[in-house]
Amino acid sequence: MKNSAATNGMVTPDLSVKLGTVTFKNPILVASGTFGYGAEAKQWCDIEQLGGVVTKSVSWKPRMGNPPHRIIETASGMLNSIGLANVGVHTFVKEKLPYLAKFDTKIIANIAASSMEEYRDVLEHIEANAVENLAGYEINISCPNVKDGGLSFGTSVERTEELTTLLRASTDRILMIKLTPNVTSVAPFAEACERAGADAVSLINTLVGMSIDIYTHEPRLNTVTGGLSGPAIKPIALAQVYQARKACRIPVIGMGGIVTVEDAVEFFIAGADMVQVGTANFVYPDAGVRVAEGLAEFMRDQKIGKISELVNSLRVRAELKAAGW
């Protein structure tokens, strides 16, 4: 007899996720700015094993980014002040999007801008040059290391809502707003995105951090402060995903310090419908694929048939829930 999953009585886990009308083969994406535009990682990573690729933030004009040093290693993390270096939207649609279109995976185009009009123009230019596997957009209103990088939107509930409303009118594809952790509470931001018609929120972007050379008394990053990412931020990210999940009914895409499948599972339990793997790609360029493979194995072991059974499955005691935790 054939030794198939069915004949063994084993669960064959279904990792697919539907967001709006789009079906992703699994809930693992690679995070913006940590995987380039795909070509950079291709020789080490089987891109088609990923649920999707979130591309590096793209703006209207190309940007050189900040001068070096713009990456520093910290305890269990990384500080960066790349400053949204990117090729600009015209090169993006001419070269980067067609390259990624060759792979059987979904593309989410991440957009950064310094004005409402720039966000809209970039999105509409991509929309006009869309490829078949372009699933939608992630709107970066949360970059902490450029002065005009959208954080002025991301730290104002009103501006977040206004921008989301504007962009909603320009696309029927997935519109995902990427929130910053550098606020007192993410809940009103998640609520505002839902009110304005976003399909999902993603979080977290990096936390503002710094590092100092004690012999020269100089900051280690050229921009003095930068964005902290990696395992060091995972507990903060988990808490914020949990808070966003409680605040809105639209899907939540979680990220921040995911390296292993166990990290990702914590995010699903906290309420994430999908996750993104970021800084880990600098250590293992196939980190996302490792997590996707590990997830299938974990689900088989735990006899979990569908990823949705894991999502938002945190067990909080009734009395704690009643008290608002």
Ligand X SMILES: Cc1cc2nc3c(=O)[nH]c(=O)nc-3n(C[C@H](O)[C@H](O)[C@H](O)COP(=O)(O)O)c2cc1C
- Residue 11 or 210 having the CB closest to ligand X: 210
> Which 3 state secondary structure label does DSSP give 95?
helix
Token code pair at residue 18: 């539907």
Binding-residue total with ligand X (CB under 6 A): 26
Interface residues for ligand X in 72-91 (CB under 6 A)?
78, 80, 82, 84
The strand pairing partners of 305, in sequence order, are none
Q: Does 229 bind ligand X (CB under 6 A)?
A: yes
C-alpha 108/C-alpha 3 separation (Å) is 38
Q: Does 28 bind ligand X (CB under 6 A)?
A: no
Site string for ligand X, 199-228 (x = CB under 6 A): ------xx----------------------
C-alpha 61/C-alpha 113 separation (Å) is 10
143 catalytic residue (yes or no): yes
Site string for ligand X, 286-325 (x = CB under 6 A): ----------------------------------------
Q: How far is the CB of 285 from ligand X (least distance, A)?
A: 13
From the list 53, 56, 119, 199, which residue makes contact with ligand X (rule: CB under 6 A)?
Answer: 56
C-alpha 199/C-alpha 45 separation (Å) is 29
Q: Does 34 bind ligand X (CB under 6 A)?
A: yes
From the list 110, 155, 160, 171, which residue makes contact with ligand X (rule: CB under 6 A)?
Answer: 110
Q: How far is the CB of 164 from ligand X (least distance, A)?
A: 16
Q: How far is the CB of 17 from ligand X (least distance, A)?
A: 19
Q: Does 66 bind ligand X (CB under 6 A)?
A: no
Interface residues for ligand X in 131-170 (CB under 6 A)?
140, 143
Q: How far is the CB of 267 from ligand X (least distance, A)?
A: 10
> Taking a C-beta distance cutoff of 8 angstroms, is the pair 234, 254 a contact?
no
The strand pairing partners of 19, in sequence order, are 22
Beta-strand ranges (E) seen in the chain are 17-19, 22-24, 28-30, 52-54, 71-74, 77-80, 106-111, 134-140, 174-178, 200-203, 207-210, 212-213, 218-219, 225-229, 252-255, 274-277
- In single-letter form, the type of residue at position 61 comes to K
CA distances (Å), origin 258, targets 54, 186, 213: 15, 20, 28
Q: How far is the CB of 294 from ligand X (least distance, A)?
A: 16
Q: How far is the CB of 29 from ligand X (least distance, A)?
A: 10
C-alpha 79/C-alpha 316 separation (Å) is 34
- Residue 13 or 181 having the CB closest to ligand X: 181
Site string for ligand X, 241-280 (x = CB under 6 A): --------------xxxx------------------xxx-
Helices 187-195 and 234-247: crossing angle in degrees, nearest 10, is 50
> What is the separation, in whole angstroms, between the first and last Cα of the chain?
52
Catalytic residue among 45, 143, 193, 248: 143
- Known catalytic residues? 143
Which residues of this chain interact with ligand X, rule CB under 6 A? 31-34, 56-57, 78, 80, 82, 84, 110, 140, 143, 178, 205-206, 229-230, 233, 255-258, 277-279
